[in-house]
Amino acid sequence: MTLPVASKVWTFSLNNRITYVSLNDLSASYLFGIKTFLVANGYTLKGSCNGAVGAMDGVDRWLTKANCTTRGATAATAQSWCALTDKSGFDILLTYLGATDDVWSYQASPSGVMVAAGTPAQQPTATDAITLLSGITVVGTATTGDRIWNGWVDSTSKLCRFVIMRAGLAISMFGAELMVPAVVAPCVLPVPTAGWALALSASSLVVGNYWQAPPANRLAATRVTVSGTPVLVTLGSTGEFGSIGPTVWQYTAPVTAEAQGSTGPIILPMGWNTATAGARGKIGNQIDRYYSYDVQADGTLTVDKKWIFWTGSATVVQGGVLFPWDGATAPVLS
């Protein structure tokens, strides 16, 4: 068996350096970079606010990173925000909402019903809104050191991923991605996209909402049949591979990892699981995301340079997840 082959055509935004000036500048630079990359690759800008003027009118008010610098300490205060929609109709909301300058919020509306708040300079709302990243440092609290971010968008504009690093360690990751049903029937995905986020706590990416999709009453459930009765199934808050549902990308690797041909320890595809009572187990497959038992540092490339290794841990004693890479570019890690 050889290394995996990506099933999607990916556009990359690699090795984007944010020179440290301040935490506010880091957050603003990252937010502006994400918006610019997504809009350039098929995402529709639904609305925006520069911290003073906002509307859900399709106007881009994030013309420079200076428009992304207004942080609101609460949802009921003015803040820089931007709402985007992918080609599957999934709304993504980036809003500079947080108690400190290193914190901002990533939210979503799976059915694409994000609307302006009564006071448009405040964050938009949605009847099916979910919060995927909030109250947690996204760029890191350290007041020194440049940050490096990488972005991924597939050619259908239905999958996106982002990773930000400092000093060789991934600080945060988030995205929104298609789910592929693990079985053809009776599994149905009314809203076939799930959001996810991980952020730093101590030395590991263990705080946040992992592989989170909305609960059943928010239309992103999977309908299956249990004992002949259809039930709505909520996605669990953890990704899984095979029959295992890890809480984060950290596992105790075997003493002697199973070899996979000449490429090293075993690599397994990852999936989506459910925690609904009576309907536990795998319900979906992830796209171009694999788990490797190999022991590598954050940002290590595979030998073919087509996959990059993320461990989410400062101490490399476990395996990690593989994202696609461009096959040529050397990653910058700090």
| Whether residue 186 sits in one domain with residue 331 | yes
Confidence of residue 269 (pLDDT cuts 50, 70, 90): confident
| Whether residue 32 sits in one domain with residue 172 | no
- Domain presence at residue 11: no
| Whether residue 182 sits in one domain with residue 329 | yes
- Domain presence at residue 35: yes
Q: Assign residue 186 a region: left if phi > 0, alpha if psi is -120 to 50, beta otherwise?
A: alpha
| Whether residue 123 sits in one domain with residue 262 | no
Q: How confident is the model over 83-87, as a mean pLDDT? A: 97
pTM > 0.95: no
Whole domain around residue 278: which residue ranges?
166-334
- Domain presence at residue 10: no
Beta bridge partner(s), residue 180? 285
| Whether residue 129 sits in one domain with residue 268 | no
- Domain presence at residue 315: yes
| Whether residue 193 sits in one domain with residue 116 | no
Model pLDDT for residues 98-157, shown as the tens digit of each residue: 999 999 999 988 888 999 999 999 999 998 788 888 888 899 999 999 999 999 999 999
- Domain presence at residue 150: no
| Whether residue 236 sits in one domain with residue 302 | yes
Q: How confident is the model over 26-42, as a mean pLDDT? A: 98
d(CA 209, CA 131): 8
Which residue did the predictor score with more confidence, 234 or 142? 142
Confidence of residue 286 (pLDDT cuts 50, 70, 90): confident
| Whether residue 310 sits in one domain with residue 234 | yes
At residue 254, the pLDDT reads 44
Element (H, E) at 28: helix 23-40
d(CA 240, CA 309): 17
Q: How many domains does the chain have?
A: 2
| Whether residue 299 sits in one domain with residue 173 | yes
Contact at 8 Å (CB) between 180 and 271? no
d(CA 100, CA 72): 9
| Whether residue 67 sits in one domain with residue 212 | no
d(CA 247, CA 296): 19
| Whether residue 170 sits in one domain with residue 140 | no
Model pLDDT for residues 157-189, shown as the tens digit of each residue: 999 999 999 998 888 888 888 877 776 555 555
SS3 117: coil
| Whether residue 188 sits in one domain with residue 121 | no
Residue pointed to by tokens 């730093």: 200
